[in-house]
Structures are given as C-alpha cells and as structure tokens.
Amino acid sequence: MEQVVIVNPDEADADTWSALLRAHRTQEFSERVFVVEGDKPEIDALRSLRGVKTPSQLDPVATARLSTIEQLMIRAWSEREKAPGKLRPGEGLSWGHKGFQAP
C-alpha cells in the first residue's frame, strides 16, 4: 500500500520525524511531501502522526502553503488511481533520486 504524506514542519514533533525517517519512501516530491509504502497498519500509524496529512485532509489554506511543484506532484499522483494500467516513463523510480531525469 502506498500513501502520499504531507508534513507540516511547524506541527511535526521529534516522534513524527523519527517515524518518517524509518518509513519506506518510494517517491520524494520535496523534503515535506513524499510517498511512503507499507502495510495498512504502518500507513495508518503514519497518517496519525502529529503534523502529517494526506492529500484528502488538506484544506485550501494548507494547499496554498505548498509550492507549485508540490501541488502539481500531488495532483499527478492522484491521477494514477484513475489509470492504474497505464505505463509511464520512469514508473516505479523515485524522481527525487539523485541523477534521475524526469521525462
């Protein structure tokens, strides 16, 4: 199971950052917006951390605080669910990985 998480650094505490550092990240859109992978209990635990939100939990004010790139990446990620069988360049690779050139 994968989940986009958005971290508000002003709300996240040391326990939040520690848990997020241990989480398996599959994509990194920025230092505070990324995709984590795990089983349902792991994802649910991350969702419940202080300062962590999912895209569906963002209100307009919180969304406006994100950079244009972060907003674009969240929208693009959500589009994946609408076309699950579509092959995309770089599928499965972290676009935040050093040296990776996005299509």
Global confidence as pTM? 0.74
1-36: per-residue pLDDT in tens?
999 999 999 999 999 999 999 999 998 999 999 999
What separation, in Å, do the N-terminal and C-terminal C-alpha atoms of the chain show? 25
* Beta-strand runs (E) in the chain: 2-7, 24-28, 33-37, 52-53
Torsion, Cα 59 65 66 72, to 10 degrees, reads: 60
